[in-house]
Structure 1
Amino acid sequence: MPDQPPPASHPHPLATVPCHDPYVLPVADGATGAEYPAPEGTGVLAWWSPDLLTWGSPRLVFTVPRDSWADPAAAPWAPEVHEWDGRYVLATTLHHPGDTLPPVRQRGTRLTLSHADHDRYTFAPSRRGTVLAVADDPSGPFELLDPTASHTPRDFMALDGTLTRDEHGRPWLVYAHERVQIINGTIEAVPLEEELRPAGEPVHLFRASEDSWFARPGAVVPSTQALAPYVTDGPQLMRLPGGGLGMLWASYRTEPGFESGEYVETQAISRSGSLLGPWEQSEVLVAGNAGHGMLFRRRRSSNDATNDDDAPDTLVLHRGMNTPRVRAEIYAVTLTPSGVELGERLA
């Protein structure tokens, strides 16, 4: 049977909480002991924890508006909340499956599909994009900045957008462009105004095919619709010691034993420190059907306040991609000039 959320009672051990695309926001006071009624509607749930090991009842913090461009019956993907200039900003991916999009001929790519590939894979791009919503409190309710459009380009099938500031302090929305539309998935970025409205055309950062590890020697590319080597998921940015810029992202690689390909967490490095790169691809960080991670700094006590000068020391991601049981895992990490180094598993 597919995962079902646990009953609405407190506390829930981490291992019982179904979790795709986790995102942790450290806050001074979480409503960990509160009991919330069962959520209604389609939207984003927030869970609260004092220790990352036990979690309070989920609370509905955002509902897809019925008068927005998105289908209110289609569940949001990859929500994350950023503390931003005194407010909180939710970035999440919405969908309109009935609004079909044309395929995009990707400039500069050398990847093509054979006739057999075209027969095996189904490409039916539809409208999908990341939106931004704001609230005065992380418990919501969050309201869309623009109910009429996504922050990613309307004609792009885009997902997993994340907020960041570049080396000059300018805000950007970094996102993944779906391989369903362009075959060779990409990571791209849209410049934003300070008010978080789109302020220009998207900029290409890199392609999924630029990694060096997607096929192990002797591995056979799985004949499934995953089209494993060309996926880009879950970009997350972090400033590295020495001034470089790192990016976590997830993809698939061909590996025996994984019918749809093995989901992995990897990273890319911009040694110049510029969001625009050039980006160098690193080796796989976490394997075994795990990925879509993000970094944060753990609170060790009520006096351990998180601030912009504190380097992230914790990685959360999910394991169990394409299985009935998907759960969060938490690791200690260290940031180095060459990227993230993985430490012990914490949960």
Structure 2
Amino acid sequence: MGRSNQPAAVQQLRLGEIRMRDPFFLETVPGEFVLFGTSDQNVWGGPATGFDCYTSKDLDHWDGPIAAFRPPPGFWADIQYWAPEVHALEGRFFMFATFADSTRARPRGVTVLVSDQPVGPYQPWSDGPVTPANEPCLDGTLHIDDDSTRWLVYSRGTEGTSDSPGIADGEMYALRLSQDLRTGVGEPILLFAASSAGWTRPLRFPKGVEPPKDLHLAKDPLFTDGPFLLRSNEGTLLMLWSSHGEAGYAMGIAESENGTITGPWIQHDSPLWSSNGGHGMVLRASTGRDYLAFHWPNNTPDERVQLTEVHISGASVRIL
């Protein structure tokens, strides 16, 4: 797969025709939407191409793909471009995405990109990953407190090295960010481990996917990924996150007991989605409707974007 900066021919597709993992929807102005996600054909290997996006006015018919990000010369990562999410802040658009380096010279991490337009092109904003330089990290999501403090919530990866095997129990962290979103501030705060949820089960890779031998995974690891935070109208702070359950990839809900990012966090007993799909987010549309977005199934290359209306009340997210 080459690194062409030329986008593919733009066409109109129905949502169910778009192959994508880790979908993220942004409503730029009322009634106009952009869809981002993991869009490379070879999501596990490489070399990576970048991120594509799609635009829509009805959430069903989409124009694309549009080249949202293509790596500039000298960019630090060349494989596994995953899970872009975009936030509009102070007149610009900031993308948080996961990248990896095939040489493993530095661990997988979350880098911040920026653009003046929602569809890009996005350019590097942070100097490499804002996540810790000594740990593999993935799936960063932005949370802004009422006092404007900016946080990155992310997963610590379970992979290790030949000298340091990967952890067996994946972890979710919060890291304070500088106001300009270029760097992390202070030490990450552990929010919870995968084993804190009763529904999690050991990792199983999708059918047809073999983990690289140099990942050095612990035996039967539990993992965390795909965090997304939302606050209900009643003020409850919730986190969607994914792991493996009884029926494969699954998505659960954690709830902050005191309504703050640092928690403590308690896990809901049952997953929100239990069968071979996950990495979700909630689109709170200007129409007043709330939608859960995620990819299903988890098997490559069959992944498709799922969008379904949900009802959110207090600590409850219920699929309609």
Give the TM-score, by structure 1 length.
0.75
SS at match of 2:16: helix
CA contact (8 A) 1:133 1:142 kept: yes
1:184 CA drift (Å) = 1.0
Query: Could you tell me how far apart the structure 2 residues matched to 1:240 and 1:60 are?
Result: 34
The one-letter amino acid of 2:107's match is: R
Q: Does residue 328 of structure 1 match 2:305? A: yes
Q: State the partner residue of 2:264.
A: 278
Aligned-pair identity (%): 34
Q: Does residue 191 of structure 1 match 2:176? A: yes
How many residues in Structure 1 have an aligned counterpart in Structure 2?
281
Q: Does residue 45 of structure 1 match 2:22? A: no
The one-letter amino acid of 2:239's match is: M
Q: State the partner residue of 2:167.
A: 182
**Residue 14 and residue 143 in structure 1: after superposition, are their counterparts in 2 closer, same or farther (change >3 A)?**
same
Q: State the partner residue of 2:151.
A: 172
1:110-189 equivalences under 5 Å are 127-147=107-127, 149-180=128-159, 181-189=166-174
1:172 CA drift (Å) = 0.6
1:30 CA drift (Å) = 4.9
Query: Could you tell me how far apart the structure 2 residues matched to 1:314 and 1:341 are?
Result: 10
**Residue 230 and residue 30 in structure 1: after superposition, are their counterparts in 2 closer, same or farther (change >3 A)?**
same
Cα-to-partner distance string for 1:306-329 (whole Å, 9 max, x where unaligned): xxxx6x711110001134311011
**Residue 221 and residue 151 in structure 1: after superposition, are their counterparts in 2 closer, same or farther (change >3 A)?**
closer
Q: Does residue 296 of structure 1 match 2:283? A: yes
1:55 CA drift (Å) = 1.1
The one-letter amino acid of 1:271's match is: E
SS at match of 1:15: helix
Query: Could you tell me how far apart the structure 1 residues matched to 2:139 and 2:73 are?
Result: 22
Give the greater-gyration-radius structure (CA).
1
Cα-to-partner distance string for 1:282-307 (whole Å, 9 max, x where unaligned): 1200121010000112354xxxxxxx
The one-letter amino acid of 2:98's match is: T
1:242 CA drift (Å) = 2.9
Query: Could you tell me how far apart the structure 2 residues matched to 1:198 and 1:43 are?
Result: 24
Runs of 4+ in structure 1 off by over 3 angstroms are 29-32, 220-229
Cα-to-partner distance string for 1:214-273 (whole Å, 9 max, x where unaligned): 25xxxx997996966611110000012332210000110234xxxxxx111111000210
Q: Which runs of 5+ in 1 are unaligned?
A: 1-6, 33-40, 101-125, 256-261, 301-309
**Residue 31 and residue 23 in structure 1: after superposition, are their counterparts in 2 closer, same or farther (change >3 A)?**
closer
CA contact (8 A) 2:11 2:65 kept: no
SS at match of 2:103: strand
Q: Which runs of 5+ in 2 are unaligned?
A: 1-7, 35-47, 160-165, 212-216
Give the TM-score, by structure 2 length.
0.81
| Structure having the larger proportion of residues in strand | 2
1:85 CA drift (Å) = 2.1
**Residue 143 and residue 335 in structure 1: after superposition, are their counterparts in 2 closer, same or farther (change >3 A)?**
same
Query: Could you tell me how far apart the structure 2 residues matched to 1:221 and 1:86 are?
Result: 40
CA contact (8 A) 1:208 1:230 kept: yes
1:37-116 equivalences under 5 Å are 42-71=49-78, 74-99=79-104
1:331 CA drift (Å) = 1.2
CA contact (8 A) 1:270 1:278 kept: yes
**Residue 173 and residue 203 in structure 1: after superposition, are their counterparts in 2 closer, same or farther (change >3 A)?**
same
CA contact (8 A) 1:93 1:161 kept: yes
